Amino acid sequence: MNVAVIDYNAGNIYSVIHALERLGINPTLTNVPEQIISSDKVIFPGQGEASSAMAYLRERNLDRVIKELKQPILGICIGQQLMCAHSEEGNVDCLGIFDVPVLRFQPQRHEDKVPHMGWNALEDVKSSLFQNFDGGEYVYFVHSYYVPVCDWTVAQTEYIVPFSAALHRDNFYSTQFHPEKSGSVGEQILKNFLAL
């Protein structure tokens, strides 16, 4: 299987590549539109800052390429946020695949630490990404901004507020958490994505 991992100067994409390699996939790290368009599956990973990431994508016309993809694509962490309409981080318009804004966590109590970092549970799971999941599975998060629960939410997690742990529309999938760092649960999610 031909898997493209979009290279857009985001941090720590090697953990995604390693995770795919553990599943026997040899992915291509690329920012070349033709390579992305011709692959069977696309992963849009990363850590980073939204406005600089969007600027990088626009400079290379990758914003249009991503929006027009027909094969399954999985956005991870900032990848999910960039697939939404607008982000409070850097106050930037994003790809608009999911028509929902990205907001910053607002702590309500002293215990509400931002970033939300660590293992938290998935609830209300309803996507082929989570086939045979019961809800309650723990996955690893590191983020300060979140996508509210919306029409495309296919898994929720509660931290300060309930938010979208995963989204799905047509061929577009995304997770706020890092499946590549989420032990065997994360591995199963990546397997499910690759099997789509």
Partner 1 sequence: MLAKRIIPCLDVKNGQTVKGTNFVNLRQAGDPVELGRAYSEQGADELVFLDITASHEGRKTFTSMVERVAAELSIPFTVGGGINELSDVDRMLSAGADKISINSAALRNPNLIDEITTHYGSQVCVVAIDAKLEENGEWQCYVNGGRIPFGKNLFEWAYESQERGAGEILFTSMNHDGVKTGFANEALYQLSEKLTIPIIASGGAGAKEHFRDAFLLGHADAALAASVFHFGEISIRELKQYLTKENINIRP
- Token reading at 167: 């989204």
Q: How far apart are CA 167 and CA 44, in angstroms?
A: 14
Choosing from 77, 84, 89, 143, which is the catalytic residue? 77
Active site residue 158: no
Find the shortest distance in angstroms from Cβ 57 to partner 1. 19
Q: Which is nearer to partner 1, 37 or 160 (CB)?
A: 160
Tell me if 138 sits within 8 A of 185, measured CB to CB.
Answer: yes
Among 41, 74, 94, 181, binds partner 1 (CB under 8 A): 181
Tell me if 82 sits within 8 A of 94, measured CB to CB.
Answer: yes
Active site residue 77: yes
Q: Which is nearer to partner 1, 71 or 119 (CB)?
A: 119
63-67 contact pairs (CB < 8 A, 24+): 63/95, 65/33, 65/36, 65/37, 66/6, 66/36, 66/42, 66/95, 66/97, 67/95, 67/96, 67/97
Do the strands 41-44 and 73-76 form a parallel or antiparallel pair, or are they unpaired? parallel
- For residue 52, state whether it binds partner 1 (rule: CB under 8 A): no
Q: What part of residues 15-44 is at the interface with partner 1 (CB under 8 A)?
A: 15, 18-19, 21-22
DSSP 131: T
Q: What part of residues 113-152 is at the interface with partner 1 (CB under 8 A)?
A: 113, 115-121, 138, 140, 142
Q: Which is nearer to partner 1, 88 or 187 (CB)?
A: 187
Catalytic residues: 77, 178, 180
Contacting residues toward partner 1, per CB under 8 A: 11-12, 14-15, 18-19, 21-22, 47, 107, 110, 113, 115-121, 138, 140, 142, 158-159, 180-184, 186-187
